Amino acid sequence: MSESRASTYAIKAAAFLIQALELDDDPALLADDVVALKRDPNAGISTLELESSVGPAAFLIYDYQLAEVNAEGNSGQALFDTDLRTLERAAEADTPGPRILAHAIAGDEAFILATTPAVHRALTGLGATPTLEADEGDLLPGRETARIRSETANDLLRLLREADSAAQRWLRAIQAEGKLDTASGAGDFVEFGEAEAALALFVLDDRSIQHLLRALNLFVTSAKEQANQALNPKPNGSG
């Protein structure tokens, strides 16, 4: 792909975002900050981060060449229709993943603007993430909570092992492409595919893994405290 061709996509993506968000920026200038995540013959995904009233906000711009057909026989129109339905259903069901902000068709091209659920909630005034603190009304009987703790601890152990194994396979693939320094763990910028871009947005959303992070923090803190108590038992009779 030529540099001028890449710039054309970036300028169009920036122009659509400016129109959708009703900004006053110059598309040619904003295009310099547009990063291409994926580019197929009839569809592409770009990302752009802006400073907003709610802080740094990451956006995804999907673009489609409606009349062009890819190697799998899917037209840009078919991809646009499928992606639009998927994003709209995700918003209705409140599932993890990108949230649609706007879409448009201009001649033989189409665009979709999406962002993380957290930014979407902030921009649309839906409020902050609800608190995780439990009160007495949230508590279950002791016997039931003991069963749940045992079952979910087993589930967490299994899923975390699977997640770590998946992360290892992903890192090995990145390493095989020469993009991971095995000595330091550092790597160059990784160009995301569509699935990786969705995962990145999921992880960036403050609501996506809050329960997992809080549970892991509790496990680590409690395990360290119990180990400390085992190594330094209190004298008999001490309070």
* CATH number, domain with residue 24: 3.30.200.20
Q: What is the pLDDT of residues 1-31, one digit of tens each?
A: 334 444 788 999 999 999 999 999 999 899 9
Are both 143 and 79 inside the same structural domain? Answer: no
Encoded amino acid at 117, one letter? P
Q: What is the pLDDT of residues 72-83, one digit of tens each?
A: 899 999 999 999
**179 lies in which domain range?**
137-228
pLDDT at res. 119: 82
**Tokens standing for 239?**
């309070």
At 215, the pLDDT band (50, 70, 90 cuts) reads confident
Q: What is the mean pLDDT of residues 39-50?
A: 88
Q: Which of 93, 123, 153 is the last residue of a domain?
A: 123
Q: Per residue in 62-79, is it b (16+ CB within 10 Å) or e — as a string? A: bbbbbebeeeeeebbbbb
Residue 69 has pLDDT above 90, yes or no: yes
- Measured CA distances, 210 to 2, 45, 141 (Å): 42, 27, 25
Lowest mean pLDDT among 49-53, 166-170, 182-186, 226-230: 182-186
Q: How far apart are the first and last CA of the chain?
A: 73
Are both 97 and 162 inside the same structural domain? Answer: no
Are both 95 and 157 inside the same structural domain? Answer: no
Are both 153 and 68 inside the same structural domain? Answer: no
Length of the chain, in residues: 239
pLDDT at res. 177: 82
How far does CA 90 lie from the centroid of its chain? 13
* Residue 177 placed within a domain: yes
Are both 118 and 7 inside the same structural domain? Answer: yes
